[in-house]
Amino acid sequence: MAKKLDKVEVVTVGVGWTGGIIAAELAKAGYQVLGLERGVETSLDDYNQIKDELKYNPRNEMMDDLSDATLTFRNNLDTEALPIRDNGNLRIGKDTGGGGSHWAAQYHRYFPYDYEIYSKTVERYGKDKIPEGMTIQDWGITYDEIEPYYDKFEKMAGISGEEDPFGPQRSNPYPTPPMKDVPITKMFKKAAKNLGYHPLTLASATLSESYENPDGQRINACQYCAFCYSHGCQFGAKSDPIITVIPTAQETNNFELRTNANVTRILYEDGKAKGVLYTDTRTGEEFEQPADVVVMTSYTFNNVRLLLLSEIGKPYNPKTGEGVIGKNFCDHHVADGASSVRGFFNDKKFNLYAGAGGLGAIFYDLAADNFDHSDVDFIHGGVARITQGGSGAITHNPVPKGTPSWGREFKEKSLFYANRTLNVNFMFAVMPWKDHYMDLDPNYTDRSGDPLLRVTFDFKDQDHNLLKFGRDVCEDVMKEMGADIIEPSEDIEHISGSFIFQHSSGGAIMGNSPETSAVNNYSQMWDVDNLFVVGASAFPHFSSANPTGTVGAMAYRAAEGIEEFLANGGGQLVEPKDAKANT
Amino acid sequence: MVDDKNKNGNGDANQEEDSSRRKFLKDAGIFTGGVVGAGFLGGVIGNKWWDDSDSATESKTTPDFSEARIFFNRREDFNVLSWATERIFPEDDHGPGAILLGVPYFIDRQLAGPWGKNADDYMMGPFKEGESTQGFQSPLNRGEIFTQGIREINKVSNKKFKSSFPELEEEQQNEVLMMFENDEVELKNVSSARFFSLLRQATLEGAYSDPLYGGNRNMDGWRMKEFPGAQSAYINEIEEEDFIKMDPVSLSDYNQ
């Protein structure tokens, strides 16, 4: 029998970026917030041994262990899904900070086109441009409406960047100037300009200079030390919930962080969330935690799995297209290897061991609807970029094709090319499809017997066409950069179950109507007005760039909604409208 | 030509071919059953890869207490492993191979720990082969895969060349390993290609991880690769056009 605890006003399930933002905003406003965190509390002191590639990269020190629960994966409805067993293939942040601690800190906003993708595509190209089964829909909010929340996130995180001629309108410049230009970003920009594109320095949450945010939290200047992506920043120079929103919440004295608390159910009765059920991961003891408002702020997969396990909302049916929970699964980086071009330079060496997760150059000319799609066989697009994250000695062993992968020739060439190889890649947008979704697996369970989440996902023609388009662009850029050996990646026929970049979305998507979406534009559930589901689980599709800016903006908007909800004694914050969706 | 800057005045220490030394390694090699390991060999023949430092002298006088096995109970298994890693990352003009880098001891420790036991992986059944896009589905942990694979390497060697793997010529050893890489050998509950990819991965990890794990001895893996290790920062170098070569720094230096 679970032990029943005293009621709190707001409980968050997870304390990373979204949980931290909700906690900070509501605690500042005077509400009592409890953050339940499955992992432990971390601080900068925990990043003291961070310059250890083996521990943090191949051994995934900052990622969740899968021994209790994982996902199952299959490419299509007719295949039996099998578990992703190796924790190198499913890398999800653990402990406070979550993915916001180990991220590369590359920063983007999504485009006005993303928010109204269905309407704008139909308006410009007609309904026939959208293939059958591509379940894109408007997000129920416009770019102009969400812009102030991007601004808020950027000020909190101190984002470094410069104005983009193709970027959406901004109400304010970036809080800090862009990171340094380095030899490889200069080469990329020059090549891209020669080809007629508009390159710029990648915006980043690895900061160009020391910055104090509006909450009084200090983020230091990046030292380009290279132990960044998959690692926490020892210098406190990468925006991370553990040095920003979590301490902000804690300083109010209205926030309690409770760690080792694994939420297993949302308690739900008569159309209301009553609280959550959680297990102390050390003792196995169960607790019932009542709350006025429940906010789901864990990663996409766990948000969706908890909704399904708690039987909240109507599960999505891929055959009829009815239901919403689990709908529109997308994963952004799963085919990274299929959209890049590698260049080997025989007479040039670069200091590739140095770098920062957010250091790079990019152009947005081919993203969203920034160019005419009348003559191409896909919608949306991608961003071409080069980055210098700092190449690790273990994981970076590039050799030209045809070289054996071990032995004398491999050793010779991998040593020679270690500092002579650059990659340009095309991060592409991923569209949702009727048969790409998440549900509960019928065969595999966690230790307590609860079903695992099952993911059904593959490539469609849209993806193959867009990838080829992007590869060709990258190849042109690499040629212009003067590489001696140029190797475009090969197309991938089917996607593998390897979710390593924490860019997965959907399952509790945002929209205009309860018919086609799970949450309104405050991330409030249509069916349960005191339950908010925050994060990339709300993305109806995955745009071409990294998600954190948009996740952060949505969290700030959700916090505002929750405040309004609590102040006004409840109720739906948004009137449903007609869905603008391809069904 | 590439213009290398030399930040810490560290020149290329690693030159000169010494074929008699390589022959010694092989002859005195770890399959003869006596004292095994790079520390012993380093003590006997000196280590030309870092002979300008104090460590060569130290290795002659100070016993290396860490050169003992945790995971591999059988000496023969460890010898086979050692020569398999040496074929994957061989000694050459650039510097030491896997054996002198301590890679076999690195792998021994990794297999004895959480990685070898798949502590962070989902290991509940049922186990089915599935599609190639569904990832590895073996019920065996990495330690079990290594033990089985290593013994099978020796079996294949004996069958094909009438000799145990460590005693084979280099080309013969390569031929045996290629059979595993190409998935031509039957193993139980795991493919030989999967075993080989784990062996390759662990060998590179041992060559290039921080020396605190027992491989990358004297940071020579990093030196060969011109990788500077755990430097505190590169803010003063990041904009430099020319390549900057630095003496590597290990976590033990970093923590001083």
Q: Where are the domains of chain B?
A: 14-254
**Which chain B residues have a beta carbon less than 8 Å from that of A222?**
235
Q: Which pair of structure tokens corresponds to residue A149? A: 């929340």
Return the residue matching tokens 């009348």: A374
Interface check for A405 against chain B (CB to CB < 8 A): the answer is yes
Concerning whether A380 is annotated as a catalytic residue, the answer is no
CA of A457: which chain B residue's CA is closest?
B133
Residue A300: enclosing H or E segment and its boundaries? helix A300-309
Mean of all residue pLDDT scores within chain B: 84
Does residue A53 sit in helix, strand or coil? helix
| Phi, psi dihedral angles at B198 (to 5 degrees) | -65, -40
What are the DSSP E strand ranges found in A446-523? 451-456, 485-488, 504-505
Q: Is the predicted pLDDT of residue A573 greater than 70, yes or no?
A: yes
Q: Which of B124, B225, B238 lies at the smallest CB-CB distance from A224? A: B238
Query: What does the pLDDT read at residue B61?
Result: 63
Q: What is the largest CA-CA distance in chain B?
A: 58
Does residue A128 sit in helix, strand or coil? helix
Q: What is the ipTM of this complex?
A: 0.96
CA of B220: which chain A residue's CA is closest?
A393
Task: Summarize the confidence of residues A271-293 as an average pLDDT.
Answer: 98
> Given pLDDT bands bounded at 50, 70 and 90, which one contains residue B254?
confident
Q: Which residues pair with A485 in a beta bridge?
A: A344
Query: What does the pLDDT read at residue A338?
Result: 75
Instruction: Report the range of poorest mean pLDDT among A300-304, A352-356, A494-498, B2-6.
Output: B2-6
| Cis amide linkage into residue A547, ω under 30° from 0 | no
- A490: exposed, middle or buried (C-beta count within 10 Å: 0-12, 13-18, 19+)? exposed
Q: A-B interface: how many C-beta pairs under 8 angstroms?
A: 178
Q: Give B74-113 pLDDT, tens digit per residue.
A: 999 999 999 999 999 999 999 999 999 999 999 999 999 9
Interface check for A153 against chain B (CB to CB < 8 A): the answer is no
Query: What does the pLDDT read at residue B256?
Result: 58
Query: What does the pLDDT read at residue B53?
Result: 46
Query: Domains in chain A, please, with CATH?
Result: 3-48+62-567 (3.50.50.60)
Does residue A511 sit in helix, strand or coil? coil
Chain A nearest-CA distance from B234, in A, is 5
Q: Is the predicted pLDDT of residue B2 greater than 80, yes or no?
A: no
Nearest-angstrom CA–CA distance, A180 and B72? 49
> Given pLDDT bands bounded at 50, 70 and 90, which one contains residue A474?
very high
Query: In this complex, do B115 and A74 lie within 8 Å of one another by their Cβ atoms?
Result: no
Q: Is the predicted pLDDT of residue B9 greater than 60, yes or no?
A: no
DSSP of A379-434, one letter per residue?
Answer: SS-EEEEEE-----TTT-----TTS-SSSHHHHHHHHHHTTSEEEEEEEE-B--BT
Spatial strand order of the sheet with A421-428 comes to A200-201, A360-363, A382-387, A421-428, A340-344, A485-488
CA of B125: which chain A residue's CA is closest?
A444
Q: Give B119-136 pLDDT, tens digit per residue.
A: 999 999 999 999 999 999
- Strands A360-363 and A382-387, sheet pairing: antiparallel
Q: Which of B124, B128, B210 lies at the smallest CB-CB distance from A54? A: B210
Q: Which of A332, A380, A503, A541 is catalytic?
A: A503
Interface test with B, best of A80, A209, A351, A419 (most B CBs within 10 A): A351
CA of B223: which chain A residue's CA is closest?
A415
Interface check for A53 against chain B (CB to CB < 8 A): the answer is yes
Nearest-angstrom CA–CA distance, A397 and A339? 19
Q: Which of B90, B209, B195 shows the shortest CA–CA distance to B138? A: B195
Residue A211: enclosing H or E segment and its boundaries? strand A211-212
Does residue A43 sit in helix, strand or coil? coil
Q: Is the predicted pLDDT of residue B35 greater than 50, yes or no?
A: no
Query: What does the pLDDT read at residue A485?
Result: 98
Query: What does the pLDDT read at residue A340?
Result: 93
Query: In this complex, do A85 and B121 lie within 8 Å of one another by their Cβ atoms?
Result: yes
Q: Which of A134, A110, A106 shows the shortest CA–CA distance to A122? A: A134
> Given pLDDT bands bounded at 50, 70 and 90, which one contains residue A501?
confident
Nearest-angstrom CA–CA distance, A50 and A37? 22
The DSSP letter of residue B6 is E
Share of chain B above pLDDT 70, in %: 76
**Which chain A residues have a beta carbon less than 8 Å from that of B235?**
222-224
DSSP of A432-451, one letter per residue?
Answer: -BTT-EEEEEEEEE-TTSPE
Query: In this complex, do B122 and A84 lie within 8 Å of one another by their Cβ atoms?
Result: yes
